[in-house]
Structure 1
Amino acid sequence: MSNITRNTSQLYRITYEAYSKFANDVNRCANLEQVAEVCRTHLKYLINFKIIRMTIFQNNKYFFFELFGNKVWYDLKEESEILDYEKELMLKGIPILTNEFPDKLIKNKLDINSLYDPVLWGWCFDKNERKVLVSLLADKEKVFSVGDVEILKLMVDCIQAKFSEIYLKRQLSIQNKNLSEAYKTIQSKNQEIERIVENQKQTIKARTSEITLKNEKLLHISALNAHNIREPLSRIQGIAELFEFFDDDACRTELIPKLVESVEEMDGVLKEVVDMASKELMDLKAKDL
């Protein structure tokens, strides 16, 4: 009896040492490829199985992980990949132990004729509000028993935790990439806005300079006109005032000729003013075009 107890204790020690090595290696993994390689290397020393399959529900998709023989397969797919008994497991949460299993479980993985009295085990574990489905196909060559369930749970916890970590890092990486791209887009838009604002400033500055120049020219025209018109206008006003002091003959012979001369001079000045103003305005209009 003592030998049996000693052998059992030694077996548990070896098993948990193997699990410790497995858990440490998984913990060091940076991606799913590395996790798959660790599982391929270590799981055969922890539990007996022909096929082990894990299904983890994540953001409306399912992460599938399968280990059979010396091969590993994993992928993130839609719900349609879930097997019927897995749907039952997810719905009811009751573990299964049956000799019946779907062909899809072993298709392209195992030859059914190579199995000796196969048995399908199935569990649904709730891990941090996430359902994890575990299927294990064993036979009398690769015997799995109730006593192996605890080490299986530890193994599932380890893989599921690492998957969650990797998935979260991947999502954060995607979000960071999106944020980085959004930031670059914002920077580009800001630079474009700055260019537009600068162009507007330059346009406003140029238009302001043009308006200032036009105003200066208009003021120049006004001053010039006032100066040129004042002289003949003053003479006309002076002659008009003299009409009170001259008789009709003197007005006709002396004042009216001088008045006509001054009016003609003023008419000439006005024509010059109009011509000059027209030329200046035409020049300003041509610059606008």
Structure 2
Amino acid sequence: MEALQGIMQNAKRLRYEALSAFAADLNKAAKYTEICDALSAHIKYIIDFFQLRLHHFNKGESGCFEMSRGECVFFKPRQDGLWKYEMEVFETGLPVNYFGDAIQEHKLLARSVFNNPKVAAVYSLPVSYFKDQKILITIAVKSQIHYIDIDFKFLKSIADLVANKLMQLDLLKKIENTNKELKAKNAQITKLNYDLEQTVNLRTAELTNANEELKTLFYRTSHDFRAPLANIMGLANIAKLVTKDKDALNLFEKCEEVAHKMDAMLSKLNVLSTYSYEHQIKPVDFRQILRELRAKFQDKLQEIGGRLIFDIVLDDEHLANPDTYVTILENLLENSINYHNTNLIVQVYILRYKNDLVIKFSDNGQGIPLKIIGKIYDMYYRGNSESTGSGLGLYVVRKLVRSLHGNIFAQSKPKKHTHFIIKVPLVQPS
């Protein structure tokens, strides 16, 4: 009795060793044929059988491993009688077995690979995993033996190992397909990006050329307009010498005034068309600029009783196009004069703050109402109906400040004061 138990224990140990070896080879398998090789090499040492069929179902797809005479093949099964038999077993969810004549009498088994004179019994074990994955192991044996629990445990272990490997291969295949799709999409995106970049470069070049042509046209047109305006102003001056008629002189004076306004507007537009061109870069002498502006507007300042005072605390050299600052300060001063109150005082402070050049331009004029302060930089915007300006002054100022890589900020209190703060990098980017 003890000898028989020892034999059984030894046989059990050998079966576990074979199962372990099967698991090791299965783990290395990278394709279905290598799973077949692992089954052929080890299953015969784990379970006694004459024929074996392992049918794997996964999300509506199925594949079969069949072993007979030590050889294993993998194929996609047809929905024949054996397939229908396997579906019936799955529906019950329980192991089934058939012996001897029962196999011949079963209408589905009788026409299957298990209808063999050497087959004495057929056993089927269904194993379910997830909702869409299951395995059915069916074995045929030559003698009518009843498998015991340990046999079914080994069969289930085989099913578990194969199911895990098949899931792994399925996942790897999906990853590979996904990678192929990603590569194809990446290639498509790369091509689209290249085409888009080419299109953008082409459109940018076309826009740049069109912009340059427009600037050139605008520059030349503004000069062409200024020539007849100069003639009109000259004729108005001559008229003062050749006639004493007060009405005629008044008309010529009005014509001269309108011509001067048109000339001033053309000058502002001309700045817009040329400010981005390359100019001579040199140290900016703010004292000289402000002295010249005070002299230029001296008559108007005296007429309204106004003053321009300035203070410059700047030890660092600032290299830029001086004409840019002339235009900025001239437009701001012109605005202060146009929107003055009595006893106008214009104050300009220029200093360094950290790495910025700061210009604080202030006056005690009419001020800017809060509701329109966000619109003052718009082209052709005029603050009130009494304005005599072109509506371009502050638009030009902001454009020029931005050309210096700077910003401008406005603060105002109506009938009290207006402050413009301009900040530009002390050292201009190259």
So what's the TM-score if we normalise by structure 2?
A: 0.48
Aligned to 1:133: 136
CA contact (8 A) 1:53 1:66 kept: yes
What displacement does 1:70 show? Answer: 3.2
Label 1:64 to 1:144 Cα distance change in 2 as closer, same or farther (>3 A): farther
What displacement does 1:28 show? Answer: 2.2
CA contact (8 A) 2:89 2:95 kept: yes
Aligned to 2:112: 105
Aligned to 1:32: 32
Aligned to 2:53: 53
Q: Secondary structure at the match of 2:30?
A: coil
Label 1:167 to 1:138 Cα distance change in 2 as closer, same or farther (>3 A): same
Label 1:149 to 1:231 Cα distance change in 2 as closer, same or farther (>3 A): closer
CA contact (8 A) 2:97 2:122 kept: yes
Q: Secondary structure at the match of 1:122?
A: strand
Label 1:67 to 1:161 Cα distance change in 2 as closer, same or farther (>3 A): same
- Kindly provide the CA deviation profile for residues 98-136 of structure 1, in whole angstroms up to 9, marking residues without a partner as x: 224535532xxx8x56x3243221121122443211211
CA contact (8 A) 2:127 2:159 kept: no
1:235-274 to 2 correspondences below 5 Å = 241=243
CA contact (8 A) 1:62 1:79 kept: no
Identity of aligned residues (%): 19
* CA–CA distance in structure 2, aligned partners of residues 104 and 215 of structure 1: 95
Match of 1:204, as an amino acid? L
* CA–CA distance in structure 2, aligned partners of residues 203 and 231 of structure 1: 42
- Kindly provide the CA deviation profile for residues 245-278 of structure 1, in whole angstroms up to 9, marking residues without a partner as x: xxxxxxxxxxxxxxxxxxxxxxxxxxxxxxxxxx
Label 1:166 to 1:21 Cα distance change in 2 as closer, same or farther (>3 A): same
- Kindly provide the CA deviation profile for residues 78-105 of structure 1, in whole angstroms up to 9, marking residues without a partner as x: 8679711111111121222122453553
Q: Which runs of 5+ in 2 are unaligned?
A: 246-430
Aligned to 1:123: 125
Aligned to 1:190: 193
Q: Secondary structure at the match of 2:49?
A: coil
CA contact (8 A) 1:50 1:138 kept: yes
1:173 aligns with 2:176: yes
Label 1:227 to 1:132 Cα distance change in 2 as closer, same or farther (>3 A): same
CA contact (8 A) 1:30 1:166 kept: yes
* CA–CA distance in structure 1, aligned partners of residues 216 and 39 of structure 2: 84
Higher helix share: 1
Aligned to 2:147: 146
Aligned to 1:200: 203
1:218 aligns with 2:221: yes
- Kindly provide the CA deviation profile for residues 202-243 of structure 1, in whole angstroms up to 9, marking residues without a partner as x: 11111101111111221233234445677789879977x489
Match of 2:90, as an amino acid? M
Match of 2:122, as an amino acid? L
**Structure showing greater Rg:** 1
What is the Cα-based RMSD across aligned positions, in Å?
3.1
Q: Secondary structure at the match of 1:56?
A: strand
What displacement does 1:194 show? Answer: 2.3
* CA–CA distance in structure 2, aligned partners of residues 78 and 84 of structure 1: 10
Aligned to 2:403: none
Q: Which runs of 5+ in 1 are unaligned?
A: 244-289
What displacement does 1:10 show? Answer: 1.7
Label 1:221 to 1:104 Cα distance change in 2 as closer, same or farther (>3 A): farther
CA contact (8 A) 1:49 1:144 kept: no
Q: Secondary structure at the match of 1:64?
A: strand
Higher RCO, 1 vs 2 (CA within 8 Å, ≥6 residues apart): 1
* CA–CA distance in structure 2, aligned partners of residues 105 and 80 of structure 1: 9
What displacement does 1:201 show? Answer: 1.5
Label 1:119 to 1:77 Cα distance change in 2 as closer, same or farther (>3 A): closer
Q: Secondary structure at the match of 1:146?
A: coil
Match of 2:129, as an amino acid? K
Label 1:166 to 1:117 Cα distance change in 2 as closer, same or farther (>3 A): closer
Aligned to 1:163: 166
Higher strand share: 2
CA contact (8 A) 2:81 2:109 kept: no
Label 1:20 to 1:230 Cα distance change in 2 as closer, same or farther (>3 A): closer
What displacement does 1:59 show? Answer: 2.1
Match of 1:119, as an amino acid? A
Label 1:144 to 1:183 Cα distance change in 2 as closer, same or farther (>3 A): farther
Number of equivalenced pairs: 236
Aligned to 1:274: none
CA contact (8 A) 2:96 2:124 kept: yes
